[in-house]
Amino acid sequence: MKIKNLISIVLLCCTCLCAKDQLVLGVNPYKTTPELQAIHAELIAYLEKALDKEIVFVVSKDYNQLITLIEQGSVDMASISPKLFAMLRQKEVNADYLGTIQFADTQTLKRSTYRSLILTPKESSVKTLADLKGKSFGFTDVDSTSGYLYPCFTMRQNGIDPSKELGKIYMLKKHSKIIDALLEKSIDAGAVYDGIYRALPEETQRKIRILSTSEEIPYDAMIASGHLDPALVAKIKTLLLAFHSSTNTQSSIAGFEEKPLFLYDRLLHLE
C-alpha cells in the first residue's frame, strides 16, 4: 500500500490527469497528517486491493481548500466535514454521496454521530457559558462543524454573540491544539469534537471541565467526484458500505452507513 501526502495542487492535478490506475482521496486537516494517515490506512488498503488502483492520500491545507479541490475535480473522492458537505450540496457541485463514516467508541460500538464540546480548564473561573464573555476562546476552523459552527450556535442560544462578546479568539486549526492550549491554560475555553476528549487519559480528562455538549452531529461524509464513471462510483459505494474494520479501534475508520441527507442540510440553518 502506498500512501502519499501531496501538498502541491499542481502535482495533484498532474496526478489526476496522468494516472488512470490511481484515485485521489482528499481529507480535511482536522488532525495531523500522520494521524489522518493512520485513521485511513486500513480503508485505503482495502480499496486498493478491491479496485486494483493506488489510492493517493491528500490532506488539504485547510477546510475550504478541500471544497476547491472537489470543485476543480482535483480529487476523486473526499472525506468531508458535515458543514462543508452541506455547503457543497447547496452549491450543487457535481458529486455523489457514498456514505457516512463510522468510528468505534470506547466500547468498540460503531458510531456514525458525534458531538461538539465546549471545554475549559478545570481550575478556570469560567463556570458557565455566561462566563465566556470577555474570555479568550480557541476554535479550530470557521468551516469546522464541531470546532466552530456548533459552539457559536450554542453561545448564541445562551445569549452570547461570539463575534462581539468573546475576548481574544484563536483559530488553532486542529482539535489536538485546542486540548494542548487548554492544558497549558493559554486559552480560557475552546471547542472540540467529543472523540478527542474521550480518547484522553482519565488523568488528563480530570484537568478539563465540559461546559456544554451539542446535539448529535453526523460524522464526515464520503463523496465521489462527478467526473468518475458512474459504474466505478457504484462499486466504490458498495465497497464502502461493506467495509468493516478488523481492529475496530478509535484510531481508525470502523465502517460506513447511509444517512438521510437532511441531517447534513439542516446544518446550514443553525442560528
- Selecting from 3.40.190.10, 3.40.350.10, 3.40.50.720, 1.20.1260.10, what CATH number does the domain 9-108+218-269 have? 3.40.190.10
**Does the predicted model carry a pTM greater than 0.75?**
yes
> What is the residue-level pLDDT of the chain in tens, covering all 271 positions?
444 444 344 344 444 444 568 999 999 998 899 999 999 999 999 999 999 999 999 999 988 899 999 989 899 999 999 999 999 999 988 999 999 999 987 666 788 999 999 999 999 999 999 999 999 999 999 989 999 999 999 999 999 999 999 999 999 999 999 999 999 999 999 999 998 998 899 999 999 999 999 999 999 999 999 999 999 999 999 999 999 998 766 668 999 999 999 999 999 888 6
Q: Which one, of 241, 260, 177, lies nearest residue 46 by Cα?
A: 241
CA trace torsion 149, 150, 155, 161 (10° rounding): 10
- For residue 150, with 0-12 CB atoms within 10 Å meaning exposed, 13-18 middle and 19 or more buried, which class applies? buried
Decide whether 9-108+218-269 matches 116-213 in CATH topology: yes
CATH topology of domain 116-213: D-Maltodextrin-Binding Protein; domain 2 (3.40.190)
C-alpha cell, 93: 457541485
Q: Rounded to an integer, what distance in angstroms lies between the CA atom of residue 54 and that of residue 164? A: 48
CB 27 within 8 A of CB 65: no
Domain boundaries, the chain: 9-108+218-269, 116-213
- At 2, which amino acid appears? K
Q: What local confidence, expressed as pLDDT, does residue 249 receive?
A: 67
- At 104, which amino acid appears? A
Instruction: Count CB atoms within 10 A of the CB of residue 126.
Output: 19
C-alpha cell, 236: 466504490
Instruction: Count CB atoms within 10 A of the CB of residue 87.
Output: 19
| pLDDT tens, residue by residue, 191-244 | 999 989 988 999 999 999 999 999 999 999 999 999 999 999 999 999 999 999
Q: What local confidence, expressed as pLDDT, does residue 201 receive?
A: 95
Query: How is the beta sheet containing 169-171 ordered, strand by strand?
Result: 169-171, 137-139, 189-193, 116-121, 208-213
Q: Rounded to an integer, what distance in angstroms lies between the CA atom of residue 44 and that of residue 245? A: 11
- In the block, which residue shows the cell 493512520? 38
Q: What local confidence, expressed as pLDDT, does residue 143 receive?
A: 86
